[in-house]
Amino acid sequence: MAAATVMIVEDDRIVARDIRQQVDRMGYSVVATTGSGEEAVALARTVRPDLVLMDIRLEGEIDGIEAARQIRAGEGIPVIFLTAYGTEDIVRRASETDPFGYLLKPFEEPQMRTVIQMALFKRRAEATLRLSERRYSATLSSISDGVITVDEGGRIDFINPIAERLTGWTSDEAVGRHLSEVFLAVDAESRAAIEDPTARDDATPSFPQDGAMLLVSRHGDEAAIEARFSLIMIDQSSVAGSVLVFTDITDRLAAAEALQQAHAELADVGRLAEMGELAATVVHEVNQPLMAIVTNAGSCLQWLDRDPPKVAKARTAVERVIRDGHRAGSVVRSIHALVRRAPAQTALVSLNDVVSETVAIARRDVRRARIAVTLDLQRDLPAIMGDRVQLQQLILNLIVNAIEAMEGAEEKILTLSTRQAPEGVQLSVQDTGHGVPAAISDQIFDALFTTKEEGLGMGLSISRSIVAVHGGTIEALPRSGGGCEFLVNLPLTPGERE
C-alpha cells in the first residue's frame, strides 16, 4: 500500500517546515503545503490528499475552519486541526465541521502520530461505509418497488424515485416529514384509511393483500399496491427505524382481470354453442311426442268412423294423445327451465356491448344472407343488471329471426338500436322483411309456434323467457315501410322474479 498523502495548511513557514519533517519521519508523504485557506480548498480538489493538517488561524479571506468545512463538504477529506489554543467559540465552530482530531501546539511526535493514524483509519472506514451507502442508494433508486425508510420516530429519511412517483412527493419535500403525511393508503373496498404502520408497537403490521389496498397520492391519484413493512433493528431490543416497501400492482391486476375476462368469454361462447346444440335436441325431442299425438288422434278418428264406432279403442287413443301431449309439454318446460336456471351469473352489463358482441357473433350469417346491418347505439346508456350470455342469446334469436324474415326480401336492412327509456333501457331490432300479420303478433312468442318450414318455434319463445327473467317486456310491432320491429324494454334491475 502506498504511503498515505498529507497536505499541510500552515501560514507560519517555520512551523510548516517542522510539521513536514515530522510527517516525513512518520513515513507519510506530504504532497502539498500552503499558507492560505483559499489555496488549500483549491489544492484539495486537484491533489486529493488522504489527510489535511489545518491551522485554524490563517491569513487571508477564510480561516482554517471555513477551509476545512469546504474541503469536507467538497472532497470529504478528513481534516485535523492544528491550534495553539482553543477558545470555546473556536472549538464549537471547529466541531461543526466534523474534524477528525485536534493537535495542540507545540506538537509532540507520538501524539501527532496517533492522531494521524486514527484519522486515516477513520477515513478508510468512512470510505467503506460511503461505498456501501452508495450501493444501497443506487439499488433502491433503480428497483421497481417503492421504498421509504423512516427513523425511529417515523420521520422519512429516504424515499426512492418509484415511491416519489407513487406518493407524488419529491425526496426533498418528503424527507423529514412523518410517514403518515406522505404515505396515505386506503382499503379498496371500504375506503377506510390503513393504519399508519409506524404508530404500532408490534413489529410487522399486515397490509391488505391482492389489490385490496390503494395508495392515494398527494394529487389524489390512486394505485393498487401491495406493501411490506419491516423494522430496522440495531440489536435485539433497539429499533433504528423501519423500511416500507410497496409495489404498484395495477398492471398485474389489469392482466389478471383481462385473463379472467378472456376465460369468461370463452365460457360464454361455450354456453352459446350449447344453446345451439340444445335447439337441435329440442327439434327431435318435441317432434317425437308430436308424431305420436298426431298419429293417435288419427287412430281415434278412424275408430270413431267405424260402424258401429269403437268407442273404447278411440278412448285409449285419446288417452295416449294426452300422455304424449304432456311429454311434449315437459320437453318445452325443461328448455325454459334451462333458460331460467341460468341467471346465477347476474352482473352489471352494458347493453351496447352485448349488442356489439352479438352482432360480431352473427356476422357470418348476416353476411351470407347479404344483409346490411346498422347499429344506432345511444352513448352513455346506463348499465343494467343481467346475464350477459342470456342477453346475447336474446339478441342472437332476434337477429336470426330477422335474417329469416328477410329471406327473399328485396331490401335487406337489419337495424339494432338502443336508447334510454323512462324505466331502464330499450332495444329495438328492425328488419325489412315480410312483417308479422297483426293477427298473430301475440302468438309468435309461443313455444312451437312457427311460420317457417324448418323452424321449431323456440327462438322467440326463449327470447320472451329471457326478457321475463330480466323483468322486461318484448313486443313485435309492424315497422313503417314494411318489415317488423321487436321492442325490448329492460329495467335497470330485474326486480321481482316471476
Partner 1 sequence: MPDTSAYRPTIIVIDDDESIREAIGDLLDSVDLESRGFATIQDFQSDTRPVHLGCIVLDVRLPGRSGLDFYEQYVRSPGAMPVIFISAHADVSTSVRAMKTGAIEFLTKPVRHQELIEAVQGAIAIDFERRRAQAEVEALKAAFETLTIQERRVARLAVTGQLNKQIAGEVGISEATVKHHRSNVMQKMGARTLIELLRMLDRIPPTDLPTA
Contacting positions for partner 1 (CB under 8 A): 283-284, 287-299, 301-303, 306, 310, 313, 316-317, 320, 323-324, 327, 453-454
Give least dist CB 301 to partner 1, A: 7
The full DSSP string for 288-342 is HHHHHHHHHHHHHHHHHHSSS--HHHHHHHHHHHHHHHHHHHHHHHHHHHHHHH-
Omega of the bond leading into 208 within 30 degrees of 0 (cis): no
Closest CA to 212 of 194, 198, 230: 194
Q: Which amino acid is at 158?
A: F
Nearer to partner 1, 249 or 317 (CB): 317
Contacts of residue 380, defined as CB under 8 A and 6 or more positions apart, other chains included, come to none
The residue among 153 and 308 lying less far from partner 1, judged by its C-beta, is 308
In the bound state with partner 1, the residue whose beta carbon lies nearer, of 293 and 444, is 293
Q: Measured from the CB atom, is 170 or 287 closer to partner 1? A: 287
- The strand order across the sheet containing 473-478 reads 372-377, 413-421, 424-431, 484-491, 473-478
- Return all residues near 29 (Cβ < 8 A) that are at least 6 apart: 2, 3, 4, 5, 6
Residue pair 194/186 in contact by the 8 Å Cβ criterion: yes
Cβ nearer to partner 1, comparing 36 with 295:
295
Q: Whose Cβ is closer to partner 1: residue 302's or residue 417's?
A: 302
Q: How far apart are CA 17 and CA 3, in angstroms?
A: 19
- Residue whose CB is less far from partner 1, 295 or 350: 295
Angstrom distance (rounded) from CA 180 to CA 95: 35
d(CA 474, CA 285): 27
Q: How far is the CB of 323 from partner 1 (least distance, A)?
A: 8
Q: For residue 214, which of 177, 189, 196 has the smallest C-alpha distance?
A: 189
> CA torsion sign, 233 to 238 to 239 to 240?
negative
CB 459 to partner 1: min, Å: 16
> Which grid cell sits at 214?
390503494
Smaller CB distance to partner 1: residue 441 or 451?
A: 451
Tell me how far CA of residue 283 lies from CA of 85, 278, 400, 447, in angstroms.
114, 9, 17, 12
- Shortest distance in whole angstroms from residue 468 CB to partner 1: 29
Which ranges of 13-52 does DSSP label H, i.e. alpha helix? Answer: 13-25, 37-47
121, 210 in Cβ contact below 8 A? no
Rounded least distance, CB 314 to partner 1, Å:
9
314 or 444: CB nearest partner 1: 314
- Taking the least distance from each CB to partner 1, the nearer of 15 and 292 is 292
DSSP, collapsed to helix, strand or coil, labels residue 465 as helix
